[in-house]
Chains A and B, each alone.
Chain A
Amino acid sequence: MHFKTFAAAAVGLGLVTLTACGSSAGDDGGSEGSKTVTLVSHSSWAVSKDVLAAFEKESGYKVRVLEDGDAGQAVNKAVLTKDNPQGDVFFGVDNTLLSRALDNGLFQPYEAKGLDQVDTRFQLDAGKHRVTPVDYGDICVNYDKQYFADHKLAPPTSYDDLIKPAYKNLLVTENASTSSPGLGFLLGTAAAYGDDGWEGYWKKLKANGVKVVDGWDQAYNDEFSGSAGGKKAKADRPLVVSYASSPPAEVIYGDPKPATAPTGVATGTCFRQVEFAGLLSNARNAEGGKALIDFLIGKRFQEDMPLNMFVYPVLKGAAVPAEFTQYGPAAENPATMDPAKIAADRDQWVKSWTSLVLK
Chain B
Amino acid sequence: MDLARTEVAARRRGNAARLGLMALPVAFFGLFFAYPVAAILARGLRVDGVWRLGRLGEVLAQSDIRHVLWFTTWQALASTVLTLLIALPGAYVFARLDFPGKQVLRAVVTVPFVLPTVVVGTAFLALVGRGGLLDELWGVRLDTTVWAILLAHVFFNYAVVVRTVGGLWAQLDPRQEEAARLLGASRLRAWRTVTLPALGPAVAAAALMVFLFTFTSFGVVQILGGPTFSTLEVEIYRQTSEIFDLSTAAVLTVVQFAAVGAILAVHAWTVRRRETALRLVDASGTARRPRGAGQWALLAGVLASIALLLVLPLAVLVQRSFDAPDFAYYRALTSTEGNVFLVPPIEAVGNSLEYALAATAIAVVIGGLAAAALTRRDAGRLVRGFDALLMLPLGVSAVTVGFGFLIALDEPPLNLRATWILVPLAQALVGVPFVVRTMLPVLRAVDGRLREAAAVLGASPWRVWREVDLPMVRRALLVAAGFAFAVSLGEFGATVFIARPDNPTLPVAVAKLLGRAGELNYGQAMALSTILMLVCAVALLVLERLRTDRTGEF
Give chain B residues whose Cβ lies under 8 Å from the Cβ of A81.
406-407, 410, 417
Contact between A217 and B515 (Cβ–Cβ < 8 Å)? yes
In angstroms, Cα B241 to Cα A72, docked, is: 8
CA gap between A66 and B418 in the complex, in Å: 13
A334 to chain B, nearest CB (A): 25
Complex Cα spacing A265 to B410, Å: 46
* Given A27-B419, A68-B501, A5:B403 Cβ within 8 A: no
- In the complex, the answer to whether A222 meets B130 with C-beta atoms within 8 Å is yes
| Known A66-B500, A79-B244: A8·B462 in contact at CB below 8 Å | yes
> At the interface, yes or no: B193 with Cβ under 8 Å from chain A?
no
Q: Which of A84, A86, A358 contacts B415 (CB 8 A)?
A: A84
Expressed in whole angstroms, the minimum distance between the Cβ of A243 and any Cβ of chain B is 15
Contacts of B28 in A (CB 8 A): 13, 16
Q: How far is the CB of B280 from chain A (nearest CB, A)?
A: 32
Q: For the complex, is A209 an interface residue (Cβ under 8 Å from B)?
A: no
Q: Kindly state whether residue B420 has any CB partner on chain A within 8 Å.
A: yes
CA separation between A83 and B411, bound complex, in Å? Answer: 9
Q: Which residues does chain B contribute within 8 Å of A5, judged by CB atoms?
A: 17, 20-21, 461-462
Residues of A within 8 A of B228 (CB): 358-359
Check A229 against B411 for contact (C-beta < 8 Å).
Answer: no
Question: Residue of B at shortest CB range from A46?
Answer: B339
Q: When chains A and B are docked, how far (Å) is the Cα of A218 from the Cα of B514? A: 10
Contact call A218/B241, Cβ cutoff below 8 A: no
Interface hit among A17-25, A110-118, A160-168:
A17-25
A28 sits at the interface (CB 8 A): yes
* A67 and B240 contact, CB distance less than 8 A: no
Also in contact, A220 and B410, with CB within 8 A (given A27-B418, A233-B130): no
Judging by beta carbons under 8 Å apart, are A72 and B242 in contact?
Answer: yes
Contact status of A1 and B460, CB under 8 A, knowing A46-B339, A177-B242, A229-B518: yes
B519 adjacent to A232 (CB under 8 Å):
yes
What CA separation (Å) do A67 and B339 show in the bound complex?
Answer: 11
Known: A2-B461, A9-B23, A177-B238. A24 touches B243 (CB 8 A): no
Q: How many residues of B contact A (CB 8 A)?
A: 56
Bound CA–CA A14/B418 (angstroms): 19
- What CA separation (Å) do A213 and B416 show in the bound complex? 36
Q: Judge whether B285 is part of the interface by a CB distance below 8 angstroms.
A: no
- Name the segment of A120-128, A186-194, A313-321, A347-355 touching the other chain: A347-355
Which B residues between 232 and 252 are near A, CB-CB below 8 angstroms?
Answer: 238, 240-245
A215 interfacial by beta-carbon distance below 8 Å:
yes
Q: Nearest A residue to B14 by beta-carbon distance?
A: A2
Q: Does B16 contact A (CB under 8 A)?
A: yes
The answer to whether the Cβ of B517 comes within 8 Å of any Cβ in the partner chain is yes
Say yes or no: A359-B419 contact (C-beta < 8 A), given A5-B20, A66-B500, A81-B406: no
Q: Residues of B at under 8 Å CB distance from A?
A: 13, 16-17, 20-21, 23-24, 27-28, 63-64, 67, 130-131, 226-228, 238, 240-245, 339-340, 342, 358, 362, 365, 369, 403, 406-407, 410-411, 415-421, 460-462, 497, 500-502, 512, 515-519
**Complex A-B: 30 CB contacts under 8 Å:** A1-B461, A4-B462, A5-B20, A5-B21, A5-B461, A6-B23, A12-B24, A13-B27, A16-B421, A19-B421, A23-B419, A23-B421, A24-B415, A24-B419, A64-B502, A65-B342, A66-B501, A66-B502, A73-B241, A81-B406, A83-B411, A84-B411, A84-B415, A86-B500, A175-B227, A212-B227, A214-B227, A220-B517, A233-B130, A350-B243
- Contacts A13-B27, A178-B238 known; 12 new A-B pairs at CB < 8 A: A6-B20, A8-B462, A9-B20, A43-B340, A76-B240, A76-B244, A86-B500, A212-B227, A213-B227, A217-B517, A221-B518, A229-B517
The 5 closest A-B pairs by CB, nearest first: A221-B517, A84-B410, A5-B20, A217-B517, A9-B24
